[in-house]
Amino acid sequence: MKLSFHGGAREVTGACYLLEAAEQKFLIDCGLFQGCDVCSDMNERPFKFDSKSINAVFVTHAHVDHVGRIPKLVKHGFSGVIYSTPPTKDLARHLLEDALSLSERQNNRLYAEEDLEKAFRIWRTVSYGEKIALNGAEIIFHDAGHILGSSLIEINAEGKKFLFSGDLGNVPSVLLPPPAKVGGVEYLVVESAYGNREHEAPAERTLQLERAMEDVASRRGTLLIPAFATERTQDLLFLINEMVNFKRVPEMPVFVDSPLASRVTSVYEEYPAYYGQGIQDLYLKHPNLFKFKKLKFTESVEESKAINDVSPPKVVIAGSGMMQGGRILHHARRYLRDKNSILMVVGYQASGSLGRRLLDGARNVKIFKEDVAVSAEIRKINGFSAHADSSQLFSFVSPMRDTLKRVFVVQGESSQALHFMQEIRDRLGIQSDAPLLGDEFEV
């Protein structure tokens, strides 16, 4: 058996792992590289494997850094079956259509619409706990608690048990249950985005959001939140809804300036059975979890521009989450100059991204080739991350110590992956590696 790494190796994005077992080739995720200067080149490079030889693709969740190269895989001859949970398939369609539209605008197309449509014709859905039998191999999806429908993927083949974590959820999640517990795992591929960092406590993340809204209200400024369309936006809307309902913050206009976030929120509303139990119970009593007075989803460019005409205080939630594109850039160009406004970063910012540069203290940035002096206050809330932090990652791995033979640490920058790799070695005494791109291992 052989396991090779074609993305997500000492980097957060581009997840793509090839397991050759039971005389078959299984691909776990096939995502885009994002947030770096050379990412476009990396995405355009040919796969190091024959796309036609892949029998099946198992998708952990719908984020583009996990699904973004699937249509490219199809374009180059993949004709097997793609498996995921139903919410993952629905979310992936919206996210991949958005990615295709963006690539067309940038004249940087990895695939065509026909490749995308073919991918969804061969895409099958499975429930958590359902067993997929493929030529002697057995595959089971378990809840990863990261975003709606996200999965841990268990593969049993040739008498060995593998588990691919995808992205692990931050516990407690605003909306979702914690990751499932899987026993008997011998070979683990685990993420490490926050491999040496801790999040704030849940109460602290909510308090910081509340304070930011109070501060912009008193300053008569704008709270600008770059947010991923999937999970982060829905978490924010749920919490703001709760704050407004209990009058913990002043009422003010809240704009979700992202057509994609609007579509994704609709998917969240279709699958309440995937929420945590407490949220399911609340949903039965109050089905409008993501809607409240003075909330407006802006679809058209004209509606987006009209946000500027609304007097502050106001809140603008817009994509992209790492400020590498999307409508957030138009708002950043306008409001970063305003000393009364706050930019609130609520998610992971890849090295080299505009969001990371602002967090690192840049006082002048270039947006649309225009120099923008940064006068707004920059704040960060780590606790909104949908990723497990260092302690949670260790708590996920440690119960498996009696059966684990080897751990592969992925989906983290080198400092995060190497730190978590060493922690597993030192504290658990288990062989652990942080693979490089292209590395292959016999297992």
Global pTM exceeds 0.85 = yes
Residues with Cβ < 8 Å from 441, sequence gap 6 or more? 2, 3, 4, 406, 408, 433, 435
Q: Looking at the predicted structure, is the pLDDT value of residue 149 above 80?
A: yes
What confidence tier does 88 reach under pLDDT thresholds 50, 70, 90? Answer: very high
Q: What percent of the chain has pLDDT over 90?
A: 85
Query: What local confidence, expressed as pLDDT, does residue 16 receive?
Result: 98
Q: Looking at the predicted structure, is the pLDDT value of residue 104 above 80?
A: no
pLDDT in tens, 333-368: 999 999 999 999 998 787 788 999 999 999 999 999
pLDDT in tens, 224-238: 999 989 999 999 999
Report how far residue 242's alpha carbon sits from residue 235's, in angstroms, rounded to the nearest whole number: 11
Q: What percent of the chain has pLDDT over 70?
A: 100
Q: Looking at the predicted structure, is the pLDDT value of residue 426 above 90?
A: yes
- Highest average pLDDT, of 30-39, 40-49, 138-147, comes from 138-147
pLDDT in tens, 265-302: 999 999 999 999 999 999 998 888 999 999 999 999 99
Length of the chain: 443
Query: What local confidence, expressed as pLDDT, does residue 34 receive?
Result: 87
Average confidence score pLDDT of the chain: 94
Ordered structural domains, the chain, with CATH = 2-197+386-442 (3.60.15.10), 202-384 (3.40.50.10890)
Q: Where are the alpha helices (DSSP H) in 38-193?
A: 39-44, 64-67, 70-75, 86-105, 113-121
The SS3 call for residue 122 is coil
Report how far residue 266's alpha carbon sits from residue 270's, in angstroms, rounded to the nearest whole number: 7
Q: Which two tokens stand for residue 311?
A: 């007097």
